[in-house]
């Protein structure tokens, strides 16, 4: 109930301000960024054009729509499935990558309902077309290893993005090493 | 030789193509093939224009001058000198005066607006003997005035060289933005950029069909890289390639009937050819390595491609049936992106030099390689102009990728796009 009251106050104060400010930008600035102060009788006391007041009390149905942030795990699998990294122009899995993939495989075996997409990525060096094939090789190497550990191949799809989706937009060795990767998403 | 030639007769000549005199036009200079071809010194004064068409007239003249200069076959006489010459009228052209400012050839044009369309009558003259070399009339809607100018320039080039010019050619490319990367088209000179796709996803590697009416390209619109064809009427078609999780790197055969591409359907990236009439796919390569970037030779008999079967990406050649594979590049640890010159005697490609990537040309008859670009940053994705005298490529000279052209010897680098993050250009044939 309190929430409704908040909303009403907010809308009322908006209705007060609206006629005064023509530019929408200004309206935005007038909206309290944090929860508005406690309800005061002051708002109705102000002279409000009757039409405007009527409209507000009737409400805008849209205001009743509630939004909830989705759990990140719906798409992004990085909190349970670890991203693995590669050397330049290589699609070999080193021991660090294999260790991470063994953990990933364990999770996948414990959660048989989830299907995944392995995305293969490259750093910006090299040609786009070769990097597209290289990204495919990286994603395929990850899939093959997961399958060798018992994950059903039908649960794993691969997509190469070549160098088109860098994790780090920088142009340094450090950025490049973060971009040569295979990362995981859940199929919806 | 008459210094002034009467133009009066022309008013009576039926328009469209005004035939030149029967005698073969006198040759101003040597032939194209000859080494040390001397550029023709040509003057392109602004067309005489109706009231209200002055801006268009200036635009047309400027475009034709740029086109002729770019071709390399002409030295355009500086327009500032043109006012030293009496303007051409319907009754006389001051050939002696044009010669005195150095013009060996002269383009006389008259611009009109007919029912909203641009109407350009143009005559090409040899100034030493006042001979008419050709007369053409061009018409187009005002939105196509640049193409009209390019057509005239190409006709002038063809007259002197016997070969089609490139001014009407176009460059397809991809520009990246926040949502993804979209297909664009521009004239060969970087003007008249048009956006072709609005998908909000990734699109890459446009490849022109030989007839210039279709673009094959790679798009992620179905969630994975796959090959599509967009035609000049805006129709989009997904090609019946093999079912891979990655289909990419399309290249048309010179007869436009087949398309080479890469698919990972066999389990790793291999080269296939799709017969566009029958829909039949044929696998050409068999290795556990990466195979990509197929490129049909201009005679259609061979395909150059990249493979890392030796441990590093190198360029190979095979017959179009996939047989007789031989390695072409021997120097360097990264050679990729092969592109045949239109005559099939040279292969442009990308090679890693230190930490950068540069464009090289391999002379196929003698195996010699030449480096064409020298930084800063990297230069990639070379593709030849239809006349084989220029290359278009993507380079990050300024920190972001843009499309550039250069002469086939690496000189006269021109930047065509400005900070659009543009890659994978292809030059129409």
Residue A52 to residues A9, A47, A59, B272, B429, Cα–Cα distance (Å): 14, 11, 11, 68, 65
Output helix, strand, coil percentages for chain A, rounded to the nearest 5.
50, 10, 40
- ipTM computed for the complex: 0.86
Is residue B176 within 8 angstroms of chain A, CB to CB?
Answer: yes
Contact call for A133 and B245, based on CB within 8 A: no
Report pLDDT for B429.
84
Is residue A157 within 8 angstroms of chain B, CB to CB?
Answer: yes
Name the minimum distance, in Å, from the CA of B292 to any CA of chain A: 7
Contact call for B224 and A125, based on CB within 8 A: no
10-residue averages of pLDDT along chain A (188 residues): 52 47 40 44 45 46 62 74 96 97 97 94 96 98 98 97 94 96 93
Is residue B428 within 8 angstroms of chain A, CB to CB?
Answer: no
Contact call for B336 and A126, based on CB within 8 A: yes
Is residue B71 within 8 angstroms of chain A, CB to CB?
Answer: no
Q: Which chain B residues touch A129 with a CB distance below 8 Å? A: 204-205, 248-249, 262, 292-293, 306, 336-337, 424
pLDDT in tens, B27-47: 444 334 444 578 999 999 999
Name the minimum distance, in Å, from the CA of B256 to any CA of chain A: 22
Q: Which chain A residues touch B292 with a CB distance below 8 Å? A: 129-130, 132-133
From the list B382, B418, B428, B429, the residue with the least C-alpha distance to B193 is B418
From the list B336, B412, B419, the residue with the least C-alpha distance to B380 is B336
Residue of A nearest to B220 (CA): A161
Contact call for B204 and A128, based on CB within 8 A: yes
Name the minimum distance, in Å, from the CA of A134 to any CA of chain B: 7
- Residue A105 CB coordination number (10 Å): 18
- Residue B49 CB coordination number (10 Å): 20
Instruction: List the single best residue of A90, A125, A129 to mutate versus B (max B Cβ within 10 A).
Output: A129
* Beta strands at B258-263 and B117-126: parallel, antiparallel or unpaired: unpaired
Q: Which chain A residues touch B269 with a CB distance below 8 Å? A: 133, 136-137
Q: Which chain B residues touch A125 with a CB distance below 8 Å? A: 355, 357, 378
Radius of gyration, CA atoms only, chain A: 27
Residue B72 to residues A46, A78, B44, B173, Cα–Cα distance (Å): 78, 56, 16, 24
Question: Which residue in B176, B246, B380 is closest to A127 by CB distance?
Answer: B380
Token pair 């994603």: residue:
A139
Contact call for B246 and A132, based on CB within 8 A: yes
Is residue B202 within 8 angstroms of chain A, CB to CB?
Answer: yes
Name the minimum distance, in Å, from the CA of B365 to any CA of chain A: 26
Contact call for B218 and A132, based on CB within 8 A: yes
Q: SS3 of A160, please?
A: strand
Contact call for A130 and B245, based on CB within 8 A: no
Ranges under pLDDT 70 in chain B: 1-36
From the list A121, A114, A97, A104, the residue with the least C-alpha distance to A182 is A121
Residues 223-282 of B with CB under 8 A from A: 223-225, 245-246, 248-249, 262, 264, 267-269
Q: Are B13 and B136 in contact (CB under 8 A)?
A: no
In angstroms, the CA B354 to CA B119 distance is 54
Name the minimum distance, in Å, from the CA of A43 to any CA of chain B: 43
Contact call for B306 and A130, based on CB within 8 A: yes
Report pLDDT for A166.
95
Scanning A20-159, the segments in alpha helix (DSSP H) are: 24-30, 42-45, 50-58, 95-110, 128-148
Angle at B181 between CA B180 and CA B185, to 5 degrees: 155
DSSP-assigned letter for residue A188: -
Is residue A42 within 8 angstroms of chain B, CB to CB?
Answer: no
- Please state the three-class secondary structure of chain B as a single string: CCCECCCHHHHHCCCCEECCCCCCCCCCCCCCCCCCCCCEEEECCCCEECCCCHHHHHHHHHHHHHHHHHHCCEEECCHHHHHHCCCCCCCCCEHHHHHHCCCCEEEEEEEEEECCEEEEEEEEEECCCCEEEEEEEEEECHHHHHHHHHHHHHHHHHHHHCCCCCCCCEEEEEEECCCCEEEEEEECCCCCCEECCCCCCCEEEEEECCCCCEEEEEECCCCCCEEEEEECCCCEEECCCCCCCCEEEEEECCCCCEEEEEECCCCCCEEEEEECCCCCEEECCCCCCCEEEEEECCCCCEEEEEECCCCCCEEEEEECCCCCCEECCCCCCCEEEEEECCCCCEEEEEEEECCEEEEEEEECCCCCEEECCCCCCCEEEEEECCCCCEEEEEECCCCCCEEEEEECCCCCCEECCCCCCEEEEEECC
Q: Which chain A residues touch B378 with a CB distance below 8 Å? A: 125
Q: SS3 of A186, please?
A: strand
Q: Which chain B residues touch A164 with a CB distance below 8 Å? A: 176, 181, 202, 204
Q: Which chain B residues touch A126 with a CB distance below 8 Å? A: 313, 334, 336, 352, 357
Report pLDDT for B13.
33
Residue of B nearest to A156 (CA): B245
Is residue A18 within 8 angstroms of chain B, CB to CB?
Answer: no
In angstroms, the CA B122 to CA B120 distance is 6
A94 contacts: CB under 8 Å, gap ≥ 6: A87
Question: Which residue in A127, A162, A164 is closest to B381 by CB distance?
Answer: A127
Residues 120-149 of B with CB under 8 A from A: none
Instruction: List the single best residue of A90, A122, A130 to mutate versus B (max B Cβ within 10 A).
Output: A130
Q: How many A×B Cβ pairs under 8 Å?
A: 92
Report pLDDT for B409.
95
């Amino acid at each position: 109930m309190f929430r409704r009251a908040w909303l009403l106050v907010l809308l009322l104060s908006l209705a007060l301000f609206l006629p005064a400010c023509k530019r929408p930008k200004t309206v935005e600035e007038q909206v309290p960024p944090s929860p508005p102060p406690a309800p005061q009788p002051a708002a109705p006391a102000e002279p409000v054009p009757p039409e405007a007041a009527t409209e507000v009390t009737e409400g805008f149905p849209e205001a009743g729509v509630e939004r909830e942030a989705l759990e990140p795990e719906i798409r992004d699998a990085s909190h349970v499935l670890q991203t693995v990294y590669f050397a330049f122009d290589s699609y070999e899995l080193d021991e660090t990558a294999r260790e991470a993939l063994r953990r990933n495989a364990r999770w996948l075996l414990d959660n048989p309902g989830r299907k995944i997409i392995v995305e293969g990525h490259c750093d910006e060096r090299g040609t786009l077309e070769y990097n597209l094939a290289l990204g495919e090789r990286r994603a395929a190497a990850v899939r093959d290893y997961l399958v060798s550990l018992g994950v059903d191949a039908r649960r794993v799809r691969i997509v190469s993005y070549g160098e088109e989706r860098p994790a780090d937009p920088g142009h340094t060795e450090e950025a490049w090493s973060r971009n040569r990767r295979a990362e995981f998403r859940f199929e919806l | 030789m008459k210094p002034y030639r009467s133009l009066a007769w022309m008013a009576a000549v039926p328009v469209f193509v005004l035939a030149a005199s029967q005698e073969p036009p006198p040759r101003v200079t040597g032939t194209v093939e000859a080494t040390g071809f001397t550029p023709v010194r040509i003057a392109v004064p602004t067309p005489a224009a109706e009231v209200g068409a002055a801006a268009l007239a200036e635009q047309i003249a400027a475009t034709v001058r740029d086109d002729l200069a770019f071709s390399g076959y002409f030295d355009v006489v500086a327009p500032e000198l043109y006012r030293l010459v009496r303007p051409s009228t319907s009754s006389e052209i001051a050939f002696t005066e044009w010669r005195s400012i150095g013009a060996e050839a002269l383009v006389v044009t008259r611009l009109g607006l007919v029912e909203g369309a641009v109407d350009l009558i143009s005559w090409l003259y040899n100034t030493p003997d006042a001979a008419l070399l050709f007369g053409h009339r061009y018409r187009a809607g005002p939105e196509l005035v640049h193409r009209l100018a390019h057509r005239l320039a190409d006709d002038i080039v063809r007259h002197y060289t016997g070969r089609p010019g490139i001014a009407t050619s176009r460059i397809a490319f991809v520009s990246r933005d926040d949502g993804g990367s979209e297909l664009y088209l521009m004239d060969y000179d970087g003007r008249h950029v048009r956006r072709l796709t609005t998908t909000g996803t990734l699109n890459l590697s446009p490849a022109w069909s030989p007839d210039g009416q279709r673009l094959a390209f790679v798009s992620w619109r179905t969630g994975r890289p796959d090959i599509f064809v967009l035609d000049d009427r805006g129709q989009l078609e997904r090609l019946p390639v093999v079912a891979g999780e990655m289909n990419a790197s399309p290249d048309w055969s010179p007869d436009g009937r087949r398309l080479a591409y890469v698919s990972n359907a066999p389990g790793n990236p291999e080269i296939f050819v799709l017969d566009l009439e029958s829909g039949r796919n044929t696998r050409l390569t068999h290795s556990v390595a990466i195979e990509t970037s197929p490129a049909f030779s201009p005679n259609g008999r061979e395909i150059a491609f990249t493979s890392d079967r030796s441990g590093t990406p190198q360029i190979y050649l095979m017959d179009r049936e996939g047989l007789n594979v031989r390695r072409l590049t021997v120097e360097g640890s990264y050679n990729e992106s092969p592109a045949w010159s239109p005559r099939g005697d040279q292969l442009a490609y990308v090679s890693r030099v230190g930490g950068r990537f540069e464009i090289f040309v391999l002379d196929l008859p003698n195996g010699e390689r030449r480096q064409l670009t020298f930084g800063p940053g990297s230069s990639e994705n070379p593709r030849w102009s239809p006349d084989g005298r220029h290359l278009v490529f993507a380079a990050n000279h300024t920190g972001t990728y843009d499309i550039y052209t250069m002469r086939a010897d690496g000189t006269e680098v021109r930047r065509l796009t400005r900070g659009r993050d543009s890659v994978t250009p292809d030059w129409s044939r």
